[in-house]
């Protein structure tokens, strides 16, 4: 196991991480991140726990500038992960005749964050959800029904048009930090 253990300093007895800390630049003017930038950065840190390399993404749900819950892409509790046994791919046929592949072994980051809120009894009505890309159709329906009023995405999802339309129709504000489309392994075909 590669767990990092804190290092105890002999003189002070204080603990620090075994990983060296990068020096802080003091010459450049510091620009404090906006709340949206801050929560997207937190979601990206949480994404590092994801267990499917096709979509290592994280999600946070916040309200009143406070983080309520988080989630990342991973298999249901107790089941094996893509990183351990590989992907469970399914092909999807779309109305236009195109076929895409999707890994169905994992639960999406947005779904896991919503499940954590339910499991912990944390209300998310009126909250903002932060995620890597436009939520898929299923996640969008859950987000709408949970009463989340705002969704902030780092980038667009290549198949996110239907979700965008649902959010618009339901009155959920959708914000993109970038209009760039998120790229990942085996995205099409």
> Would you name the residues annotated as active-site residues?
110
What is the sign of the dihedral through the CA atoms of 96, 101, 104 and 106? negative
Q: What is d(CA 37, CA 20) in angstroms, rounded to the nearest whole number?
A: 25
Q: What is d(CA 153, CA 59) in angstroms, rounded to the nearest whole number?
A: 10
Q: For residue 138, how many C-alpha atoms fall within 13 Å in the half-sphere facing its CB?
A: 8
The bridge status of strand 66-72 relative to strand 58-63 is antiparallel
Contacts of 132 (CB under 8 A, 6+ apart): 43, 44, 47, 55, 57, 58, 59, 109, 153, 154, 155, 182
Q: What is d(CA 142, CA 114) in angstroms, rounded to the nearest whole number?
A: 8
């Amino acid at each position: 196991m590669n767990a990092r253990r804190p290092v105890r300093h002999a003189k002070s007895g204080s603990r620090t991480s075994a990983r060296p800390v990068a020096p802080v630049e003091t010459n450049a003017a510091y620009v404090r991140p906006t709340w949206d930038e801050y929560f997207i950065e937190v979601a990206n840190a949480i994404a590092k726990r994801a267990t499917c390399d096709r979509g290592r993404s994280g999600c946070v749900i916040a309200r009143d500038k406070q983080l309520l819950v988080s989630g990342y892409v991973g298999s249901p509790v107790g089941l094996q992960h893509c990183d351990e046994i590989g992907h469970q791919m399914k092909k999807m046929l779309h109305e236009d005749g195109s076929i895409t592949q999707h890994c169905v072994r994992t639960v999406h980051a947005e779904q896991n964050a919503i499940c954590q809120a339910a499991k912990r009894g944390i209300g998310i009505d009126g909250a903002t959800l932060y995620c890597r890309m436009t939520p898929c159709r299923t996640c969008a329906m859950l987000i709408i029904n949970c009463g989340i009023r705002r969704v902030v995405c780092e980038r667009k999802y290549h198949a996110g048009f239907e979700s965008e339309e649902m959010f618009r129709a339901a009155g959920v504000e959708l914000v993109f930090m970038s209009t760039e489309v998120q790229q990942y392994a085996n995205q099409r075909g």
